[in-house]
């Protein structure tokens, strides 16, 4: 549910794990060689979209300066109007052009994605020490993804590897294991973000077919993540890469307990089909998976929300995200209102601080 954004600063330094700057896409030309430069100039810049109409648009209508310039297209104004206003100690910058990894042309996608990553690293990170960057990788060729992780993965303010929610194969498939090996070698979490499911080389946006409205697609996004999580766990990704963490952004939260119950029950009878799973799947999930608060479910009764928090290791698995400047984003005070006081500092800062190994800021 969207809401009016507060200008009330948070009382503790916040870590926001999902911030969306808009980079200068003309700057991409400075990083591309031919023939990819001409290809990019032709307008072929992503895997496209499904064309759903969202009556709210994409961006907040009030995220603009007095002259109408968006606050999120320059690092200085993003820092002033989001990081300063909401008392952010750190924020993870996630490229909104998340469809590019699903391009059917892997070499072209790899070149453009490298340019996107370099723009964040060279143009944004030096402006404000609170900025952290996600790096994207192409999905059409795992070796190109590995090459990109090794190229920039050691940068001290690269926080994670960012993947689209949709994929050509489920993410537990061994096709992707070299990517996870590279991410683990650089101590980088792998993070899924929705947006282009059903486009490019990804599968359909639901297990049953294509939704016919934005409402249907948007509400059903959690089912994509359930499928991806089941794949990661049952294919043994976390046994093979025991230090790997996976973050599920914008997936919702409250679907997790019943999924874990069902998976644990079935594992007891069918464990021989996943012999590498040496303990209950719910234990694996709670050790290796993180989720974020936006958009979190909002039942009318807070008691129902808090009862669900007791059904999984919520105090260790949840991290705050604003999704700034998107239309349905949340400020820290809005997101924190339903959590018990004992959890708020963990959710608003400490869990992300531990995941990304960040220093404390006053």
Question: Looking only at Cα atoms, what is the longest distance across the chain?
Answer: 63
Dihedral sign from CA coordinates of 103, 104, 109, 113:
positive
Dist. CA 259–CA 265, nearest whole Å:
10
How far does Cα 159 stand from its chain's mean position?
Answer: 11
The pTM score is: 0.95
What six digits make up the tokens of 21? 């700057």
pLDDT bracket for residue 263 (50, 70, 90):
very high
Question: For 14-356, which CATH superfamily applies?
Answer: Metal-dependent hydrolases (3.20.20.140)
pLDDT bracket for residue 51 (50, 70, 90):
confident
Tokens 């993804």 -> residue? 145
Task: Indicate if the pLDDT at residue 132 is higher than 70.
Answer: yes
Dihedral sign from CA coordinates of 278, 279, 285, 286:
negative
In sequence order, the β-bridge partners of residue 331 are none
Dist. CA 322–CA 352, nearest whole Å:
13
Dihedral, 86, 88, 92, 93 alpha carbons, nearest 10: 50
In sequence order, the β-bridge partners of residue 131 are 91
Contact 238, 232 (CB under 8 A): yes
Nearest residue to 83 via CA among 144, 183, 14 = 14
Backbone dihedral angles phi then psi of residue 230, each to the nearest 5 degrees? -55, -40
Dist. CA 41–CA 305, nearest whole Å:
48
pLDDT number for residue 1 = 34
What six digits make up the tokens of 62? 């009030």
Q: Calculate mean pLDDT across residues 198-217.
A: 92
What six digits make up the tokens of 79? 């820092």
Q: Calculate mean pLDDT across residues 22-31.
A: 92
């Amino acid at each position: 549910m969207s809401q009016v954004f507060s200008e009330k600063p948070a009382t503790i330094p916040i870590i926001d794990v999902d911030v969306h700057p808009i980079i200068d896409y003309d700057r991409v030309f400075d990083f591309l060689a031919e023939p990819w430069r001409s290809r990019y100039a032709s307008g072929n810049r992503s895997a496209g979209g499904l064309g759903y109409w969202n009556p709210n648009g994409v961006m907040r209508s009030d995220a603009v300066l007095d002259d109408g310039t968006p606050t999120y297209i320059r690092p200085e104004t993003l820092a002033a109007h989001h990081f300063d206003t909401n008392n952010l100690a750190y924020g993870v910058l996630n490229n909104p052009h998340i469809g590019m990894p699903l391009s059917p042309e892997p070499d072209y996608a790899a070149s453009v994605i490298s340019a996107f990553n370099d723009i964040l690293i060279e143009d944004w990170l030096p402006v404000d020490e609170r900025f952290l960057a996600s790096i994207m990788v192409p999905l059409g060729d795992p070796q190109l993804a590995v090459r990109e992780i090794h190229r920039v993965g050691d940068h001290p303010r690269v926080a994670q590897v960012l993947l689209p929610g949709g994929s050509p194969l489920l993410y537990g498939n061994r096709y992707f294991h070299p990517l996870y090996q590279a991410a683990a070698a650089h101590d980088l979490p792998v993070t899924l973000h929705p947006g282009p499911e059903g486009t490019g080389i990804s599968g359909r946006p639901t297990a049953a077919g294509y939704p016919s409205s934005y409402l249907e697609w948007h509400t059903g996004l959690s089912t994509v993540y359930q499928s991806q999580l089941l794949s990661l766990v049952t294919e043994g990704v976390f046994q093979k890469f025991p230090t790997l963490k996976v973050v599920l952004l914008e997936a919702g939260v409250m679907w997790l307990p019943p999924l874990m119950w069902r998976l644990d029950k079935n594992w007891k009878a069918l464990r021989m089909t996943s012999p590498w799973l040496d303990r209950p799947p719910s234990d694996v999930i709670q050790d290796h998976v993180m989720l974020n608060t936006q958009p979190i479910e909002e039942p009318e009764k807070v008691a129902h929300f808090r009862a669900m928090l007791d059904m999984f290791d919520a105090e260790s698995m949840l991290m705050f995200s604003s999704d700034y400047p998107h239309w349905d984003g949340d400020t820290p005070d809005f997101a924190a209102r339903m959590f018990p006081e004992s959890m708020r500092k963990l959710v608003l800062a400490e869990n992300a601080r531990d995941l990304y190994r960040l220093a404390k800021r006053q």
